[in-house]
Amino acid sequence: MRQVAVLLGFALVLSGCDSEPDFDERFEAAQAEIEEKAESIENDLEAADARSADKADKSGPDKANGEVVPDPVS
């Protein structure tokens, strides 16, 4: 009876080890998370660049003749 209990305990220990992810699984999960964050950062930067370009277009050179219009000095 004691041997059966030891074998069952050993089987439980081995079955618990199966549920932990190995290195490759952890690496793939981390890589996917990093790629997702990088894509999010790139999208944020592109949106910021687009907003910046819109502001520059509105306050940039005079589009009628291509010259910079000086600010009036009071």
Model pLDDT for residues 13-53, shown as the tens digit of each residue: 777 666 788 899 999 999 999 999 999 999 999 999 998 88
The domain spans of the chain are 1-57
Token pair recorded at residue 55: 């502001």
**pLDDT at residue number 63:** 54
- Name the 3-class secondary structure at 71: coil
**pLDDT at residue number 74:** 61
The mean pLDDT of 55-63, rounded to a whole number, is 63
C-beta of residue 29 within 8 angstroms of C-beta of residue 21: yes
Q: Which residues contact 62 (CB under 8 A, 6 or more apart)?
A: 68, 69
Q: What angle do CA 33, 21, 37 make, to 5 degrees?
A: 5
pTM, two decimals, is 0.48
Token pair recorded at residue 45: 């930067």
**pLDDT at residue number 43:** 96
